[in-house]
A and B are shown apart, each in its own frame.
Chain A
Amino acid sequence: MKKIFIVFISVIFSLVIITSCKKFLELDPPYTQDAENYFQNEQEYFRALTGAYDLLQGMFVSYWIGDIASDNTIAGGESVTDTEGLHQIDNMTHGAVNNELRNLMRWNYCGISRCNFILEPKENEINFASKATILAEAKFLRAFYYFELVKVFGDMPLIINKRIGNDEVLSSIRNPASEVYDQIEKDLNEAIVILSYKSESSHSGIKGRVDRGAAQALLGKVYLYQNEWSNADFVFSDLINSGNYTLASDYTTMFSKSNENNSETVFDVEYSDGEGGGYNCLICLEGNLTPGYQGIRAYEGAVYGDGNSYNLPTQDLFSSFEYKDPRRDVTCLNLDNFGIKGVINFDLRAFAQFLLPLIALISPLWANNLKGCAKCHLGLVLVENL
């Protein structure tokens, strides 16, 4: 009887052992590198960081949304249905589903998840000299993306140092904007401690990589948005007194390609014309699409190619510059002065100036649609607000 008892117990024991061996089931795909067994060396960390930088190139959507929503610019484009999302924002008729707002959310959360991929705890942490810098850059980028989100949407879910699945999405909450700002400040402060100024030898010297100045400037801006004047003052003073930056002497040439990375540039997003691209994936482009999109529609002339007439400045913006402000003509392009022949249909301008108000008396809706069309086809809008 005892013998049987012993056998019995040992059988149960071995069964329990067999079935609770978790490690047995934790299998890696043989000879494959995937996201779960990456980060084996410095090269891999840098490549993942490059992937996190990629989403900076999607910033244009923030500018468009911001400018178009304000009275600085109008949506533009080929017609009222060309990139409808921007027109909706222009008219403040956008609803819960708006392509541009969705892109902004998608692209920034993609950037955040790529930063989290670098920052999340690893099973086997390796160490190398520049690891702290890489992590600091990832924190800057994460702060940058969260700043875009909190500016546009306010309260947003915080996902820090992990990747989430569908189940967690369902249980996530919109963290209050103050918590988001706190996280941004935390990330930037930690980055500032580690990073060096790009003028210093301890910086990698690679153009485009974040430096201390960038982190400080962003932090100061973040404070300004929260009306925290003394905090902003503190950070900005340190940045200004570092002696790394001076104001450019000529505003009119500050944004031209030949003056890239001038003394006033603290941080800029890098682009290249080396790849080319198409309309099917705007976030995949390595070039800056805004000059093309915002260029003059059907332009034929020297220096420039034609564009899609997006994001067109308004009379309001033009008029807000003070007399002889040297920045005005560089900010708003006056097509008449640009010497284009035949692009502006003079009749169309007259139509816009004189006939539209008359039409509006009969049918405001019709006039509004015509105004939209007129806006689209003119390089510079001199249409009075009705």
Chain B
Amino acid sequence: MKFITLSFLIFFSISFFSQNLIITGKVVDENKETMPGVNIKVEGIDGGATTDFDGRYSISVQNQQNILVFSFIGYKSQSVSVNDETNIDIQLKPSSENLDEVVVVGYGTSRVKELTGATVQVKGESIERLNIPRMDQALQGQVSGVTISTNSGSPGGTSNIRIRGLSTSGNNNPLILVDGVVYDAQGLNALNPGDIESINVLKDATAGIYGVRAANGVIIIETKKGKKGSKPKFEVGSYYGMQSTTKKLNLLNAGEYALIKNEMFIRGGGQPIFNNTDLKVGSNWQDSIFQDAPVQSFNIGVTGGGKNSSYSIGGNYFSQDGIVGGKKSNFERYNARVNLVNSLSKKLTLTSVFLYTHEQRSVLAENGIGSVLYNTINAFPTRNIHSPDGNYEYLDEVSDIINPVAQIENTYNRSLTNKLVGKQEFEVKILDNLSFTNRLSYNYAIVDGKTFNPLAWYGSGKYANSALNANLDPVMVFNGFQYNQNSDTYDSVLVERGASVSEQRATYLDLNYESYLNYNLNINDHNIKSTLGASVFRRKGDVLNGTGFNIPNNSIDYADISASQSPGQFNQNNTGSYEFEERLLSAFLRGEYSYKFKYIFSGVIRRDGSSKFGPNSRYGYFPSFSGAWIVSEESFLNFKPITFLKLRTSYGISGNDQIANFAYRALLNGEGVYVFDDIITAGVAIGTAANPDLKWETTRQLNIGVDLQLFNSFDITANYFIKNTNDLLFSPNVSALIGSYGPGGYPPIVNAGNVSNKGFEFEFGYATNPNNPIGVNVNLNFTYLKNEVTSVPDGIDFIPGASFGVGGNTATRFEAGFPIGYFFGYQTNGIYQNQTQIDNSNIIQDGAQVGDLIFVDQDGDGKINFNDNSDKSNLGSPLPKFMFGTVLGFNLYGFDISANLYAAVGQKIIRNYERQQPYANQLNYVLDRWTVDNQSNEVPIYTTASNRNGVFSDFFVENGSFLRVRNIQIGYILPKDFCKKFKTNYVRFYLAANNLFTFTKYMGYDPDIGGGALNGGVDNGFYPQARTIMGGINIKF
């Protein structure tokens, strides 16, 4: 008490004797707009001031030597000495250093400087300017460690995002959050890239604050927000483009086809099928399937803010027709975005986000055997597309190839999605350094689908026929018994099965309530940050579907279940429904300590409980630790070129809860039948055994990284990581004690197995100031990834993936010691050139003839075994080893040129679109087949007789490496004065091309093939991504 009074008196006396200066002024930004909320401190003295709504401040200093420090997030801090001014106006410039930027990191924010984990920030602009409708496809090649592969090039087609490799045979999707709302990867088509402000990819264990959802990495997307105290800024943009296919395959023309086929039949001991092989070109099926298709987009938006609020509102229309099928394979989307931030009082802030999407999509049969492109590749060039009477030609000789043009015409389907995603977030500033945030977010989607199956006749014996004959008469089907009084028998009742329509509605609702505290404490050189919170999440879905038959007139005009004319009985069995629900309950704590912002330590612990896990494993704990040392702040590092150097490391445990719902429960799908009273009596028995211990897949990840900045301009980042995932889901052999080995019994689903991913990432960036009239920006990233399945449980040798050909053997596998989905088949070693070679060979290959492929005897037993796997081996992996991405840009007095390149090297692709049937068409590499005159050592003979050349071997495995010019753009920004004449601030015209060039050895349509974890890299006639040439304009006013 005494001490307090004494210091009080001293303080008073000092202040009485010192000049109490009050300094005032105004702070504006680079556009001369006033800046509210700017912090002003007097160096060395506690306390400070902030600018008000008009950007004005007032602060008291002690003397003229005091230095005022002005700082605001995202802007370069300025220090100004008071001297003899009493009014100091300041203009703050945005920080060209990325290091001061603030990024969202899961329940909080952090400056890039202080990040201890491997994260990459991508500006929304880098995504938007590519004019690629799907945000993940646009991300390809821009972030190291992130592999994006396309599942289909058709409009609305999906992609796979893999962060640091494939971890599991199950679900590899990362957690995607849009403004904090969980967004499922399947639904990314609904997100408008133009709404995105920034994307933050959390690649390593620091994503652990998301616990059991973080094992595959986390992508945090923030949408555009307004700014307080700024006038409304309007933005309008539009582009229009024409798409065409990047490639057409080199198929045989009619003359070549006749030549090859005649030879095939003769070799097989038959008669030639063409008397005249001088048939010239014949039909070009590819030309009749591919077309030029338009793509267009129009968007409008306004951002701004008042005294206590800010808003960002936008709308977008996008439409894309398919290069195969035109309107029958198209995608159309309407987006609306409303983002409002309201300061209800000095301490309360309410953020509301509404993202609405309406999308429509139609698809053709694609990416499989029986798809339109599969039929196009195999259709015979000797047949016309139309027959003389105007119908479509049948392709009689092969039962599973149908006329693809007819197939497109008979395809009618439409899927309609309405989606509303948003949040209401309420933040309370309890104290200056303690804030309490509550957030309720939702993701509501209604997905409707309708498919019309008309009566179609593609020729006799075709699997795809739904009609009885060429007259399109309906098929008669059994529909129960009817008592016949005259004959005293029960007669079968047959009814017509005509055209049918299937309809489906699926409704999904995610609700998430999160509540957390953020605390920040600065004591001298120590800084402590902490986050404590809880989250409740519920996801519900239900699906209802039905099929109606006998649609009148076989016409699309009546395609609705309400128009069905078939007897009630027939319809009743064709309805179905499905419901599911899952819940997640979590709590998390993060603590960060830094000393002088030079040594930074961070720790996270999260506890998750999920309804998906067995009762013995309901809750999991996920800890992670990370640290960083900003070496450039050390006094001993005085090397001028190094303007920033940070060493960091992280290690943590996270989980993947995307396993099947209720997999831990025992199902009553077993067989329990006994005989009572001599009657076979059906009882009930457990089939799939329960596993009360079932839990999530666990990932342990170590990351070591370096962030380096040279000469204040060159940003370099390097990471080395080791990622191990175990507890994958399997159904291996188990002990008899579990009791699952009875009639109809299945072993329980258990956690076992281990996958390892190791890799190295490198990034380089350089940019001159964008305001300079001449400038350049370069961005390079490089990733090396090694994937291996390190163990599988006892009793499982491998998990089979895709099969080769029609009903062929398994070609891809999940097996210990190899990458996930590696190719497994026969290795070849040239071709038998003559009979002596066959006779003298010390390896017996049954049925080998001159011109056949020579297979390698892997197990050394002296013969090639075609009945089992003993002579098969590893033929390559569908996963790329190296990935490069580059963004290059130049701007010169208003003109700008930029290019995005992406390359993936080391992956292989299985050529699986050749229908190995005598009459099916072939690629023209077969012209190089072995003959007496052309003793090829690559391409074997073709014959209708049976031979082994068609088994799955490396003959069908191709190098899938490619380099693709993703985007090239030339733009021009009108000079500012010219714009002002039209009351605009910014006008840019541009011409751009997507997928302009692809350099690859791969013979198929598109080497950028996705696929699931187990069956990736198999080309069944992949719908290629389009080459688009477009022009557009962006105006801001």
Contacts and interface: CB of A to CB of B under 8 A. Distances in A.
Given A36-B665, A38-B668, A49 B683 contact: yes
A114 B743 contact: no
A55 interface: yes
Contacts of A194: none
A31 B679 CA distance: 31
Contacts of A211: none
B111 to A, nearest CB: 27
A159 B740 CA distance: 14
Contacts, number: 208
Contact of A114 (B434, B582, B686): B686
A207 B676 CA distance: 6
A109 B665 contact: no
A22 interface: yes
Contact of A284 (B532, B585, B614, B744): B744
A22 B610 CA distance: 10
A51 interface: yes
Interface stretch (B88-96, B469-477, B689-697, B893-901): B689-697
Interface in B660-709: 661-662, 665-668, 670-686, 689-693
Interface stretch (A269-277, A304-312, A343-351): A269-277
Chain B interface residue bracket vs A? 35 or more
Nearest to B584: A25
A249 interface: no
B951 to A, nearest CB: 27
B690 A46 contact: no
Contacts of B667: 34-35
Contacts of A111: 739, 742
A207 B736 contact: no
A3 B581 CA distance: 40
Interface string A140-165: 00000000000000000101000111
Q: Name which of B434, B693, B742 has the most chain A CB atoms within 10 A of its CB.
A: B742
B985 interface: no
Contacts of B742: 54-55, 106-107, 110-111, 114, 283
B738 A206 contact: no
A277 B523 CA distance: 81
Contacts of B816: none
Nearest to A111: B742
Nearest to B739: A113
B666 A54 contact: no
Interface string B979-1015: 0000000000000000000000000000000000000
A110 B741 contact: yes
Contacts of B31: none
Contacts of A112: 739
A44 B684 contact: yes
Contact of B676 (A26, A208, A283): A208
A208 B678 CA distance: 8
A337 interface: no
B737 A50 contact: no
B586 interface: yes
Contacts of B585: 18-19, 21, 24-25
Given A27-B611, A113-B686, A166 B673 contact: no
A8 B665 CA distance: 40
Nearest to B618: A25
Contacts of B515: 11, 14-15, 18
B745 interface: yes
Given A27-B581, A36-B665, A284-B744, A208 B684 contact: no
Contacts of A22: 609, 618
Contacts of A96: none
A27 B538 CA distance: 11
Interface in B392-436: 430-431, 434, 436
B616 interface: yes
B236 interface: no
A286 B683 CA distance: 13
Interface in A275-297: 275, 281, 283-284, 286
A198 B916 CA distance: 67
Closest 4 CB pairs of A and B: A51-B672, A50-B683, A113-B739, A110-B742
Given A19-B534, A113-B686, A283-B743, 13 more contacts: A18-B587, A24-B585, A25-B610, A47-B672, A47-B684, A49-B683, A54-B672, A54-B685, A114-B739, A164-B738, A165-B616, A167-B616, A270-B678
